[in-house]
Amino acid sequence: MILEGGSIVVQQIIILFLMIGLGVVAAHFGLLKEEGTRQLTELLLIIITPCVIIMAFQLSFERSLIKNILIAAFLGALTPTIGIFVSKLFFRNASPERNVMLRYATIFYNSGFFSLPLIRAFFGNTGALYGSVFIGVINIFFWTYGVYLMTGKKNASKLKTFLNPGTIAVLIAITLELLKIKLPGIIHSTLTYVASMHTPLAMMIIGSQFYLYKQDFKLLDGSLWKTVLTRNIIVPLIMLLLNYYLVEDKTLYFTSVIIAAAPTATNTVLFATKFKQDVSTAIQTVMLTTVMTIFTIPLIMGLAMLLKGSL
């Protein structure tokens, strides 16, 4: 069963990478240029991902899942917190101009673009429900500790901390659920269609970014491989052990493991640009950690299945 589950993991990751390949092809032939990729990213973040979050909460779930949702919120905060301590340890000797980006690349994971499609493929709406909680929590970290790390000042806007698409969508979804409001059929269908675009569009955006910034890719840069070690292996292994003792529900357990094993967040590049940090390093960490997930996620998931059984 474990070998079968591992095969499913590899198949799903290959599917995602084939979609990434389509993005590379589109960028190569000029169908996706830098401005178009930026616009599609905004579309995904502001419209499509919130639709995924809202629809995840629209399924009929038992009240017992509320406990798992609270655990997911705790794990969503714990994962970047572990990343903060690991990154401080591993990059304490890095040059000041690179330290910020290497630490950011370790702490912040790609929960929306990369993890959520994989989770939905394995666990459907229940997995997406838990994954959506992680997205809401990491958005809070983006606009608090992320801004602090980029600027060196504790000037992250408290309003922006909560007024972002991820957390707003979670709040709307939870409110609808607490009030037992189910969306009317026509709205439900509309949001379902929009949400279905999430996986292919997210993967093609990543592919186009790979192509557009391929000239910045330096395979012999040791710091980049150290980032792969921290982001793709060390943080996931620590979270795997913690999940083993903290989480009983299998769906939540594997969801948390997948998210912890995610590559560097794509908004690392956006934040580096916004706050005038090392954009080249940001691009390279996103590219390399994403490519290496085809090896590291099956490894982490294999260990997870050895501890808790098959998917």
The CATH code of the domain that includes 127 is 1.20.1530
> How many domains does the chain fold into?
1
Range of the domain at 231: 2-308
Tokens of 291: 């490519």
Low-confidence spans in the chain with pLDDT less than 50: 1
Q: Please report the pLDDT score of residue 193 as a whole number.
A: 93
Enter the pTM of the model: 0.80
Distances (CA, A) of 165 to 161, 173, 225: 11, 12, 32
β-pair partners for 109: 264
Q: What are the tens digits of pLDDT across the range 213-261?
A: 787 777 788 899 999 999 999 999 999 999 999 999 999 999 999 999 9
Q: What is the DSSP letter of 29?
A: T
Residues with Cβ < 8 Å from 296, sequence gap 6 or more? 228, 232, 233, 236, 261
Q: Please report the pLDDT score of residue 158 as a whole number.
A: 59
